[in-house]
Chain A
Amino acid sequence: MLLSAKQDWLGNIRGDILAGIVVALALVPEAIAFSIIAGVDPKVGLYASFAIAVMIAIVGGRAGMISAATAATALLMVTLVKDHGLQYLLAATVLAGVLQIVAGYLNLHKFMSFISKSVMTGFLNALAILIFMAQLPELTGVTWHVYALTALGLGIIYLFPYVPKLGQLLPSPLVNIVVITLIVYFMGIDVRTIGDMGELPDTLPIFLWPDVPLNFETLQIIFPYSISIAIVGLLESLMTANVIDELTDTESDKKRECKGQGIANIGSGLIGGMAGCAMIGQSIINVKSGGRGRLSTMVAGTFLLILVVFLSDILSIVPMAALVAVMIMVSIGTFDWGSIKSLKTNPTSASTVMVATVIVVVWTHNLAFGVFTGILIGSLFMAQRLSQFMYVDSDYNEDTDTRTYTIIGQVFFNSSDKFIAFFDFKEAVDKIVIDVHRAHFWDITAVAALDKVVIKLRREGADVSIIGLNDASETLLDKFAVHDKPEEIEKIMGGH
């Protein structure tokens, strides 16, 4: 552990420091933009990004991942800030952190396996749409200058990387900010600047307990927000950890990440910052810029604070148009454009799940609701498919006047009606044998369906016997551990 800790911190010093600086430069406009989304002063997002990045570098479970103030969590805070103010947001942030630590101890990260690729794509697309929508207030009811500056900014962002040499050296979003600011400053154009949006940090953050009454009423106010923030924060963090795992071909400690996110949020709330989580885009930028270790995250957080504290005067004259250009880039980059094309080629179920996730998120502004919807619809589709894995074979023996039904496959709540429909209750026979040794009764609905069939057949005057019920109902027991062994799975799926 100590060796890997050393490797995590000092294994890639030069790459980590350079990448950390690139990320810090990219984090500043994002942190300001997300503060504006949440409706708080830019300093709240900037302090949060500092606190979260620095702390997650130490306590996180994924080296090289960047966490800071994010759009996903900022979107959840809007009404809390509007109705109750900043202090309640800080309290909600601390509580969200506590909930995340609890989630870590409860191993809730294991539920990530329920999130399918379609849900994840829906999550990202919805996030992109919400980030874009959040920029609209800056683009409505403004002079043509703002549109021109935003367009110019986007041009710089996308074209500057093609400039030989320099393009790979300087982050183009930063070049956009510098150029647009210079144009506005020297030409004296009257447009909104970051300074107009609220206070910027001019000192180092200080420790502050949120100024809220510690009573049940407060808890009632903040709890719904905290739980949403905790869930969305963990969702995006664990998704991002998976992305970075894949990119770097290394493993991360998801449980530690959950607890780490919690600690980082508590820390953020206590120095006047808002809640955040891992950032998919920035984390990929970090890896792309050569960052691999914990040092990169630490440098990003520290450098960000140095930047904003010393440059707050300059930052305050940066036009909002430059910031909007950066956020449009983030939105375009986050959206999975390929997913629109594959809407036609993917199975309808996958596309439905993706689109449903997007719609619910955009409607509720809460990524958690979208994800739950996606999981739910996805599970229904899965149940529908599984129910097709059942059929009944029937055979009549004239000598003994016996009808034998052989049931093969999966009988559960969704296939039990289909199961009943296989039987011919109008046929008058002496004896009926129901052979279920190759069937699996997954739940009590399935057992009830079998009972119903037997009773109905008896009413018609037949002698009914069932073969192999023990084998069939083995699946009914919730002893999943038994089925972990290949031979047990073979017994169930192979059906004999």
Chain B
Amino acid sequence: MSSTKKCVLACIDGSELGNAVSGYAIWLSQNSQSPIKFLHTIEHSHRTEHAHHEGTITPNMKEHLLDELSDEERSESKQLIAQGKDILNKARQMAEQAGLSEIIAKQRHGTLPDALSDLESEIVMVVLGSKGEDHDGHKKGLGSQLEEAIRAIHTPVFIVKDEKLSEPKKLMFAYNGSPTSKIALEFIKQGTFCTASLEVHLVCVHKNLVDAEKLVVEGQRVLAEGDINTKTKALEGEAAEELIRYQQDNDIDTIAMGAFSHGKVHGLFFGSFTTQMLLESSANFLLIR
């Protein structure tokens, strides 16, 4: 890359959330004074239109098949690229109207997680919709690539769950003292995400209140080093339940937390806390790894 400045990456497709994703990315780009980059990935279905079942091994079979498959994929790609260009142009217009000058629009072949890990070095933060265009119409649920995409990179990810675009006002930071949540704490302290008007609620949940309060003190001490408008709360009980209740009671619009600290295998057996939160809360998420 010629410019050394890292950018805010907005991953957009034709889904209902696309607009909101662009909007939040524009807001983040203005806040952090980073260039904005819109990314559209072209995923090949790798599925042939018609299969041949004659089962014979014929001379030059490989060459013929290669020609046929590449022709099919070529037309599929061309179509997807054209669609993506439209989506990107709309996003670009939106960013121009918002007064941004450094705008990059890019298309990449392959899946979103692959694209993210390829681009990781040039990203400061990623904005993603919680589900892609394949999932439009489903009220609940998460996109099939969401977890994989978040795991692909180590930059903070902002996840848009709501089509409605509104500037984040109240952010709940769930802190539990784990290594990833400590990384998250440092990130919040830096203030890349937090504007002066943003209210940060440091919320710690533990099985007993004394430990929860200890965590609050620990978190508050770090946040105090930064210039953050902080409120705190210690809660006793089951983490996901208490956090979601607090979020609803206090009109929190964004939940920040460390994400996917355990491996995938752990998640397979015990379920992932991050996934549970993403599924159950309607707020937007700021996930830090």
If the complex has contacts A15-B47, A292-B47, are A247 and B55 also in contact, measured as CB distance less than 8 A?
no
Residues of A within 8 A of B78 (CB): none
Q: Tell me if B51 is interfacial: C-beta within 8 Å of chain A.
A: yes
In contact, B62 and A169 (Cβ under 8 angstroms): no
Bound Cα distance from A167 to B53, whole angstroms: 8
Residue interface mask B53-71, A partner, CB < 8 A = 1: 1111111111001100110
Residue interface mask A329-354, B partner, CB < 8 A = 1: 11011111110000000000000000
Q: Tell me if B46 is interfacial: C-beta within 8 Å of chain A.
A: yes
Bound Cα distance from A250 to B145, whole angstroms: 18
Residues of B within 8 A of A170 (CB): 53-54
In contact, A19 and B51 (Cβ under 8 angstroms): yes
Residues of A within 8 A of B221 (CB): none
In contact, A3 and B54 (Cβ under 8 angstroms): no
Residue of B nearest to A64 (CB): B46
In contact, A290 and B61 (Cβ under 8 angstroms): no
Least CB distance from B58 to A in Å reads: 5
If the complex has contacts A1-B264, A284-B65, A288-B65, are A248 and B55 also in contact, measured as CB distance less than 8 A?
no
Bound Cα distance from A250 to B51, whole angstroms: 18
Residues of B within 8 A of A3 (CB): 113, 144-145, 147-148
Residues of A within 8 A of B55 (CB): 22-23, 25-26, 171-174, 285, 289
The interface size bin for chain B is 20 to 34
Residues of A within 8 A of B66 (CB): 246-247
Bound Cα distance from A249 to B77, whole angstroms: 13
Least CB distance from A336 to B in Å reads: 8
Residues of B within 8 A of A15 (CB): 47-48, 51
Bound Cα distance from A18 to B51, whole angstroms: 9
**In chain A, residues 148-206, which have Cβ atoms closer than 8 Å to a Cβ of chain B?**
157-158, 160-161, 167-174
Residues of B within 8 A of A337 (CB): 59-60
Q: Tell me if B52 is interfacial: C-beta within 8 Å of chain A.
A: yes
In contact, A329 and B51 (Cβ under 8 angstroms): no
Residue in A23, A243, A333 whose CB lies within 8 Å of B58: A333
Bound Cα distance from A290 to B72, whole angstroms: 13
Residues of B within 8 A of A18 (CB): 51, 53
Residue of A nearest to B52 (CB): A288
Least CB distance from B265 to A in Å reads: 9
Residues of A within 8 A of B262 (CB): none
Bound Cα distance from A329 to B60, whole angstroms: 13
Least CB distance from B37 to A in Å reads: 24
In contact, B53 and A169 (Cβ under 8 angstroms): yes
Q: Tell me if B268 is interfacial: C-beta within 8 Å of chain A.
A: yes
Residues of B within 8 A of A247 (CB): 62, 65-66, 69
Q: Tell me if B122 is interfacial: C-beta within 8 Å of chain A.
A: no
Bound Cα distance from A12 to B61, whole angstroms: 22
Residues of A within 8 A of B144 (CB): 3
In contact, A173 and B69 (Cβ under 8 angstroms): no
Bound Cα distance from A25 to B53, whole angstroms: 11
Q: Tell me if A481 is interfacial: C-beta within 8 Å of chain B.
A: no
Residues of A within 8 A of B56 (CB): 157-158, 161, 171-173, 285, 329, 333
Bound Cα distance from A337 to B54, whole angstroms: 21
Q: Tell me if B162 is interfacial: C-beta within 8 Å of chain A.
A: no
Q: Tell me if A85 is interfacial: C-beta within 8 Å of chain B.
A: no
- 13 A-B pairs besides A2-B268, A173-B56 with CB distance below 8 A are A12-B46, A19-B53, A26-B55, A158-B56, A168-B52, A249-B70, A249-B73, A282-B57, A289-B53, A333-B56, A333-B58, A336-B59, A337-B59
Q: What are 19 contact pairs spanning A and B, CB under 8 A?
A: A15-B47, A18-B51, A25-B55, A160-B54, A167-B54, A246-B66, A247-B66, A249-B69, A249-B70, A250-B46, A284-B65, A287-B65, A289-B52, A290-B48, A292-B47, A329-B56, A333-B57, A333-B58, A337-B60
Chain A residues engaging chain B, CB cutoff 8 angstroms: 1-4, 12, 15, 18-19, 22-23, 25-26, 157-158, 160-161, 167-174, 243, 246-250, 281-282, 284-285, 287-290, 292, 329-330, 332-338
Chain B residues engaging chain A, CB cutoff 8 angstroms: 44, 46-48, 51-62, 65-66, 69-70, 73, 113, 144-145, 147-148, 264, 268
Q: Shortest 8 CB-CB distances between A and B: which pairs? A: A171-B55, A290-B51, A333-B57, A161-B54, A281-B57, A3-B148, A26-B55, A22-B55
